[in-house]
């Protein structure tokens, strides 16, 4: 078994979660690329002194630079943010003296009989739009995961040495996470 075969077998083994996220799984078709100078490759592999940590960094960089994340952040992400999914939800609130929402007369009468609800107040189902949907949670998770991966790379190699594409992807994902409707604090607290 050649070194390349051992390397591919190692990367596609079942203990690597990344094989499910990247196109390096055993079912992938091999790609044709120009041959790498064996001395340069050997020097590079020997420079990976961090073991599994360097292996993870390498996989993160390959994933981020080869899987169209940049195109997604530039083309698709702005469209997704401008058309975020939402749903109508109801909150039961005490309103008044003005009316708002659909008045729950049964609960209002019960509250007045029990003397727990003043005469100028009403129990009402008030509608509001919620952006706390599975689609938006998934988008927020993806943006946080991308940001986490690039932060990991930056800590390992230094922020100044980050590839310009990685910097661009990081900036776009940070901007998306600052979006008022999918900010992590808003989705976690359900304040949509």
| Residues 121-162: tens digit of each pLDDT | 999 988 877 777 788 888 888 899 999 999 988 888 888 888
- Residue 91's pLDDT is 83
Q: Are residues 141 and 189 in the same domain?
A: yes
What whole-number percentage of the chain has pLDDT above 90?
7
State how far the alpha carbon of 68 is from the alpha carbons of 8, 75, 163, in Å. Answer: 22, 10, 15
Q: Are residues 91 and 185 in the same domain?
A: no
Q: Are residues 92 and 166 in the same domain?
A: no
pLDDT (tens digit per residue) in 61-90: 888 888 888 899 888 888 888 887 777 778
Q: Are residues 140 and 185 in the same domain?
A: yes
Q: Judge contact between 188 and 131, C-beta under 8 A.
A: no
Overall pTM surpassing 0.75 (yes/no) = no
Q: What is the mean pLDDT of the chain?
A: 76
Q: Are residues 80 and 155 in the same domain?
A: yes
Q: Is the pLDDT of residue 98 over 50?
A: yes
Range of the domain at 147: 52-86+133-192
Q: Are residues 147 and 183 in the same domain?
A: yes
Domain count, the chain: 2
- Computed on alpha carbons and rounded to an integer, the radius of gyration of the chain in Å comes to 26
């Amino acid at each position: 078994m050649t070194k390349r075969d051992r390397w591919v077998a190692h990367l596609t083994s079942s203990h690597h979660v990344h094989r499910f996220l990247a196109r390096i799984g055993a079912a992938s078709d091999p790609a044709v690329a120009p041959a790498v100078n064996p001395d340069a490759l050997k020097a590079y592999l020997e420079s990976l002194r961090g073991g599994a940590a360097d292996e993870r960094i390498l996989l993160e960089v390959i994933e981020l630079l080869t899987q169209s994340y940049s195109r997604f952040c530039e083309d698709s992400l702005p469209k997704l943010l401008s058309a975020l999914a939402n749903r109508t939800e109801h909150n039961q609130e005490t309103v008044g003296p003005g009316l708002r929402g659909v008045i729950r007369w049964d609960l209002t009468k019960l509250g007045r009989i029990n003397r727990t609800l003043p005469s100028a107040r009403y129990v009402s189902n008030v509608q509001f739009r919620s952006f706390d949907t599975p689609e938006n949670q998934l988008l927020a998770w993806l943006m946080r995961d991308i940001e986490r991966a690039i932060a990991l790379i930056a800590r390992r190699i230094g922020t100044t040495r980050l590839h310009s594409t990685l910097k661009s992807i990081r900036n776009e994902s940070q901007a998306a996470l600052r979006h008022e409707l999918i900010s992590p604090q808003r989705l976690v607290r359900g304040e949509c």
